Amino acid sequence: MKKNFISNSSESIRMFKSGFLESLSKVHFYVPLIVYIPVIGYLCWFAFAEVHMNFFSFIGWVALGLFLWTIAEYILHRYIFHFYPKSSIGKRIHFIFHGVHHDYPNDSKRLVMPPSASIPMALALYYLFLYLLPEGTIYAFFAGFLIGYLVYDMAHYALHHANFKNPFWKKLKQHHMLHHYSDSTKGYGVSSALWDKVLGSDFDKKVNT
């Protein structure tokens, strides 16, 4: 495949003339934790205190939310973040949302999704699931979904900045680095390589060794 520009610098390039818009495009890795852990806590409390969901039902819906997140993560990365528009404005939007990360993968302030993007997306998905799911289940389900999102964001930051000794995390980091530095048309899973294996977008075993 054609190799695109990749900077090994940790610099954070400017994307917007507006200082306000520029500030919205950058975020420290811990900000999603500050934003979403209280939301997750509230959803869990509401499931028990207001909906009176029993414990095993709660665990089941949380687990379903976590599982569905893994699918959403894969679809989002493969079909939205890696959709390449032909128009100039489309290319600009793609660069803002994901292209900049591939050009500057070591930019620590563009490794987790900024709240300016994640909050509208989370709200849209919340109301979609609210419409689709049985009454009263959204709270446990969406808590699991958001937990999956936080695992994804924190894992993504760690894969770029941590040196792992654990075999699982070393293999997962190699998987993601191959996506960045070898072939960006494969290896879309970040927190897990499961769906790459299932859907045929994993790297060849020869590349992984």
pTM of the model: 0.88
Q: What is the pLDDT of residues 87-106, one digit of tens each?
A: 888 877 777 767 778 777 87
pLDDT digits (tens, 9 = 90+) for 25-81: 778 889 999 999 999 999 999 999 999 999 999 999 999 999 999 999 999 999 988
d(CA 7, CA 165) in angstroms, rounded, equals: 26
Report CA Rg, the chain.
18
Task: Fill in the DSSP letter of residue 137.
Answer: -
CA distance 137 to 92: 39
Of 179, 143, 126, 123, residue with least CA distance to 60? 143
Query: What is the secondary structure of 88-99 as a DSSP string?
Result: HHHHHHHIIIII
Domain chopping of the chain, boundaries: 29-166
